Amino acid sequence: MPEDLKDQNSGKKGLTALLEEVREEVKVLKEKAAEDVKTLKDPEKTQLYKSIFRVKHDDKPRSRALGVLSNVFLHLHPAKINRDAVAYNYTWGMGGITFYLFIVLTFTGALLMFYYHPSKVQAFRDILYLEHDVPFGKLLRNMHRWAAHLMIITVWLHMFRVFLTGSYKKPREFNWAVGVILMLLTMLLSFTGYLLPDDQLGFWAVTVGTNMARATPLLGHEGPFGAQLGMTPYNDVRFGLLGGSIVDSNALLRSYIWHCIAIPLIAATFMAVHFWRVRKDGGISGPSPVMLESEIKEERKF
Amino acid sequence: MDWAQLWEIASEPDNVPIVALLFLVPFYTFYAFRQAFANDRLIGQLEANPAMAKTHHRKVQPWKPGWDREIHVWPFLLRMEFLAAIIVTLILMIWSITLNAPLEEPSNPTLTMNPAKAPWYFLGLQEMLVYFDPWMAGVVLPTLILVGLMAIPYLDANPLGNGYYTFKQRKFAIMAFVFGFLVLWLSMVIIGTFIRGPGWMWFWPGQTWDHNRLIFEANRDLPDIFHITSAPGKGIFGAIVVGLYTILMATFFHKLFTLTPFNRRIYKRMSLIQYVTLQLFLIIMMTLPVKILIRQLFRIKYVWITPWFNI
């Protein structure tokens, strides 16, 4: 009995102790919750934020620099830039806008690919389907087309600006050449896309365009010295471009593959080089201090 | 005046980029040259006053001692880029909602479009087809344009004007580029869009496109005018004329290279390879306006006729 009592007593004691314990724990929990709420008010201190962004978001120079350098999308930029270069009047923003349009075109283009079959039977019907039945299909196609046209304009204006600011001069000579190739690729992208709706406009534009290839010197059957080298409509450079002697289903497929896969990949590669070289050649070219005629150094002769 | 047709061409959705170019290119040309002249005035002041040249920060943009020469990309550049992306997206959205991409009838090899026009950015090449044979206009000249553009940095021996707008210090380079880009390339795009009608015939803006129009203009070749009829005669005659043209143009450009003391100074910096390559590209570039002129003024088609090619 006494043992039982003892047990009972201890049991009673245990119950109150348990209650005490629970109260203690609730208190601790409350404190923790309060702490959590406090840290949630300052999300930059959470593990989640730190794991993703690493760097504090404040206006300390170090944080600002690291915010750019430690972000994969922003790290093409330097941490700091010429104070006068951010004004619109120097660069006109044309290079950046061109790149942005390339992204827009990749996005809308990928969406268009969901609705398009590169075959003579389907292609034109797919455009009609896209224009009349696909939700926002017309908007999608319009955006792809106008962004492509706008991109050509911005590429030309970018080149115009780079020329007028003399930015192709030492040490940026090679990057200008890369830029010229990118301009060519932009126009070829636009041109290969022209045939894809398989309508009269694209068909005849591509017919006119590729007919010029007949006249390629040496490699075209109507070009100078082509016939002498054994070129016919069935083995010359135009045949290679079209996959046939006329613009037909093979030409449509080839145009599709060049447009959606090959040229975008080539262009992306050249773009990577172009942006890389902008940084490696010393960043944006100016506005730099003017140089005077009296300061021209005589070139070293070898 | 056929205003309706003019409006029809100008408002055709696919021609909107060219109408936009008509405004954008003059604006940006003005924008660039305004800054160039501002810099030129500063250069003039600094050249006149060597003491000032030693202390001045050498930009037209304001700067005071103590100011940082560089600023943080975040936020000063990134906010501009973000803003630009938003504005471009807005423009594209509005453009895409208001204007529909063209879609003609299904392609039909038996029904030729007249005029069959290339996309607008290639109209310059299509227009060149009027003045040159396809192997020149479609293959050789476009290749030379690209190679010539890529060669520019290696041919320009003038170290001035690197990283700022200027006209005074780079007169020749800028005039040559503006001539090639604005006068030749863009104006041919505009001619191809607004002037060329059915049969690629010349219709002034506002003149109705007449599909039955015939033009009785007999194109002549230069040897015909001199009554040279034999094939070897034509070949030799053409070679002589082209050779004379080359010498004439080369002399003209050489005169330009050595026109002012500054030009002569740059000329001395050029290597022989640079000089010859630059001459070659300029002479070939000038064949286009020369052929346009002799075609439009004297209806002369070919200058040099050989069994293998005609120029």
Q: What is the pLDDT of residues B11-30, one digit of tens each?
A: 888 888 888 999 999 999 99
The answer to whether residue B217 scores a pLDDT higher than 90 is: no
The answer to whether residue B297 scores a pLDDT higher than 70 is: yes
Quick check: B135 and A224 CB within 8 A? yes
Quick check: B134 and A215 CB within 8 A? yes
Residues of B in contact with A163 (CB under 8 A): 152, 174, 177, 181
The answer to whether residue B142 scores a pLDDT higher than 70 is: yes
The answer to whether residue A301 scores a pLDDT higher than 70 is: no
Share of chain A above pLDDT 70, in %: 94
- The CATH architecture to which A88-287 belongs is Up-down Bundle (1.20)
Closest residue of chain B to A139, computed from CA coordinates: B96
DSSP letter (8 states) at residue B255: H
Per-residue tokens: B232: 């070897």
Quick check: B75 and A64 CB within 8 A? yes
Task: Give the model's confidence band at A5: pLDDT under 50 very low, under 70 low, under 90 confident, else very high.
Answer: low
What pLDDT score was predicted for residue A221? 87
Quick check: B109 and A203 CB within 8 A? yes
Backbone angle region of B199, left / alpha / beta, with phi > 0 → left and psi within -120 to 50 → alpha? left
What pLDDT score was predicted for residue B214? 79
Task: Give the model's confidence band at A44: pLDDT under 50 very low, under 70 low, under 90 confident, else very high.
Answer: confident
pLDDT tens digits along B154-194: 999 999 999 999 999 999 999 999 999 999 999 899 998 88
pLDDT tens digits along A10-19: 556 688 999 9
What pLDDT score was predicted for residue A8? 55
What pLDDT score was predicted for residue B231? 87
Average pLDDT over residues A184-199: 94
What pLDDT score was predicted for residue B119? 86
Per-residue tokens: B52: 């000032």
What pLDDT score was predicted for residue B248? 96
Mean pLDDT check: name the lowest of A247-251, B116-120, B159-163.
Answer: B116-120
Task: Give the model's confidence band at B199: pLDDT under 50 very low, under 70 low, under 90 confident, else very high.
Answer: confident
Mean pLDDT check: name the lowest of A226-230, B82-86, B167-171.
Answer: A226-230
Packing angle between helix A137-164 and helix B78-98, nearest 10 degrees? 130
Closest C-alpha to A286, from A200, A166, A189: A166
What pLDDT score was predicted for residue A300? 61
Compare CB distances from A285 to B91, B162, B265 and report the shortest one's residue.
B162
Q: Using CA atoms, how far apart are residues A129 and A148, in angstroms rounded to an integer?
A: 22
Identify the residue with better confidence: A118 or A41.
A118
Closest C-alpha to A179, from A71, A277, A53, A109: A277
Averaged pLDDT score across all residues of chain A: 90
Q: Using CA atoms, how far apart are residues A241 and B171, in angstroms rounded to an integer?
A: 42
What pLDDT score was predicted for residue A11? 56
Tell me the nearest-neighbour CA distance from B205 into chain A, angstroms.
22
Question: Which residues lie below 8 Å from residue B303, measured CB to CB, with a gap of 6+?
Answer: B221, B222, B238, B241, B242, B245, B291, B294, B311
Mutate one of A112, A149, A175, A196 to test the B interface: name it (highest B CB count within 10 A).
A149
What pLDDT score was predicted for residue A132? 94
Mutate one of A200, A284, A298 to test the B interface: name it (highest B CB count within 10 A).
A200
- Which B positions 147-166 lie with beta carbon below 8 A of chain A? 149-150, 152-154, 156, 159-166
